[in-house]
Amino acid sequence: MIATHMVNSLADTARAAARTLNVATGAERSAALNAIADAIIARSAEIIAANEEDMVRARAAKINSSLLDRLLLTPTRVEGIANGARQVSKLPDPLGITLRHSTLPNGIDLKQVTVPFGVIGMVYEARPNVTVDAAVILLMSGNAALLRGSSSASASNQILVTVMRDALKATKISPDVIQLVPSDDRDTVKALLNARGKVDLVIPRGSASLIRMVVDESTVPTIETGAGVCHVYIDEFADLAKALPIIINSKVQRPSVCNAAETVLIHTKIAKAFVPVVLKALHDAGVILHGDAQVLELAGSIPMSAATEENWCTEYGTLEMNVAIVDSVDAASDHIAKYGTKHTEAIITENKANATRFIALSDCAAVMVNTSTRFTDGEQMGFGAEIGISNQKLHARGPMGLEAMTTTTWIVTGDGQIRS
């Protein structure tokens, strides 16, 4: 009951404050985001100091390297967070866009326009950058934010929210549009998920277990951001000079994120020559390897183990990867359909027909052709920061930027007409 009362109170405060967003112009919302970005840079030392408190606790708790990487804030990452806010501020205003416009036979003017959802709750783990990414996207799209991060990032999230709220004091936007839901009480998550009528939408971002819990238990509508068991398929017509760097980048550049690749599929016609090259490059990069029987035969002195059913469907989030040999585009697609999570799939090929077939057979949020899976990212795709990557099909799919955080309303304008 205490948690429910707390969350409902925060939601009520946020909804009242959201009136300042409702009447703000796009330029005023943009100015608020730039004020937040400036404040983050100006107070970066405070942010990094608070993050170090979280890191000390995490190391003492022997949290794995993947989660430590997600938690860590460096000067470069703090600058990246601020730059993300600035990028969002430069994007076109997503509100008030006319999607449909017509005049009825009786003279009534009919318009469908974009509007905010209202109050949106975020439930997320470890990564403190989500605190700012989510807040600025929600503010720019006219929504108030209820942010419920993990206890492992409590100090980082608190300082980031404080910095943002302080920055808003000098703008036309009320600081109360950003609310931090306490993370020291697990009941606050359940309270947020059941705040129907108080909260308009909940978006989870984190592990597969967190996302499943939110989707299964929430009475508030949700957008499911899914786990990333992503694949790179090397076709028989691939340019292998392109393929190898793409494989390495997809796995190694930042293995802890959801768009990192977990499995490489290699066409049998190029396997004998290319598999040893791939295995050596991945091994040299520190990647733990698992493979099917055909791959194991080609491994030579490269250490690796036989892949299990669990390996094929695991989102590692670390330097660990599976390698398999397939005999066609269809076989690669069958493997992906069985073990993938509908996130991001890549094909490396110079054959346009094979690329087209792979795309047609891929049921996922993003399909990459001759490029790294790491580009399924809101900032990389020009959205600025992202609220998350949706694996579902209703409302939004793929990286979610400003437009995904809007709904619509109908504006019906007459001149005294009444219905007969």
Residue with tokens 């238990």: 217
Contact 221, 192 (CB under 8 A): no
- Average pLDDT value for residue range 118-127: 92
Whole-angstrom distance, CA of residue 233 vs CA of residue 339: 14
Tokens of 294: 């055909």
For residue 391, the model assigns a pLDDT of 83
Contacts of 387 (CB under 8 A, 6+ apart): 122, 133, 134, 137, 138, 203, 205, 378, 400, 401, 404, 405
Tokens of 103: 């005049």
Contact 405, 94 (CB under 8 A): yes
For residue 400, the model assigns a pLDDT of 87
For residue 380, the model assigns a pLDDT of 83
- Average pLDDT value for residue range 218-241: 93
Q: Where are the alpha helices (DSSP H) in 61-128?
A: 65-71, 75-89
For residue 385, the model assigns a pLDDT of 66
Boundaries of every domain in the chain: 2-225+400-413, 230-375
Asked if residue 212 has pLDDT above 90, the reply is no
One-letter identity of residue 319? L
- CA-wise closest residue to 18 among 137, 123, 175, 158: 175
**CATH match for 2-225+400-413 among 1.25.40.10, 3.50.50.60, 3.40.50.2000, 3.40.605.10:** 3.40.605.10
Contact 188, 6 (CB under 8 A): yes
- Average pLDDT value for residue range 50-74: 92
For 371-411, write each residue's pLDDT tens digit. 999 999 877 887 766 788 888 888 888 888 899 999 999 99
Asked if residue 221 has pLDDT above 90, the reply is yes
For residue 384, the model assigns a pLDDT of 65
Q: Where are the alpha helices (DSSP H) in 43-125?
A: 44-60, 65-71, 75-89
CATH superfamily of 230-375: Aldehyde Dehydrogenase; Chain A, domain 2 (3.40.309.10)
For 248-269, write each residue's pLDDT tens digit. 999 999 998 889 999 999 999 9
> Which of residues 393 and 18 earns the better pLDDT score?
18
For residue 49, the model assigns a pLDDT of 98
